[in-house]
Amino acid sequence: MANAINWFEIPAKNFERAKTFYEKVLGIEIHIMPHPSNKYGVFPADVDGGHVGGGLVEGEGFEPSTHGSIVYLNCQPDLSVQLARVEEAGGKIVLPKTSIGGNGFMAHIIDTEGNRVALHSMK
């Protein structure tokens, strides 16, 4: 097993609002993926190369939450860049950039949908 996680999904109440938030904060493009019953978008990732990927999803049974598992989004080389965009994009910083020793730095945010998500980088 190369990774403990191979896919994640972040729930959204308003797909377009959430898509805009993550694209602005991370400086990426979320690609729309056809789905039979949900609105679905895919974060960029080299999943064929063994890297972890994930999706953004609006649909029945997908409820945003500040409780439970936390997804750590890769913000290399320095999460300060993405963290500076959070509030302007409609989110909230709940834990500022914090050292986690030899594992780099993290910050916790609340996205536009009410999910607690973490940002991670080595600097």
How many angstroms separate the CA atoms of 66 and 81, rounded?
A: 23
Residue 49, pLDDT score: 84
The stretches in the chain having pLDDT less than 50 are none
Q: Which domains does the chain have, with CATH numbers?
A: 7-121 (3.10.180.10)
Token readout for 122 is 């080595």
* Separation of alpha carbons 119 and 97, rounded Å: 9
Q: Are 57 and 40 in contact (CB under 8 A)?
A: yes
Write the pLDDT tens digit of every residue in 75-85.
999 999 999 99
pTM comes to 0.94
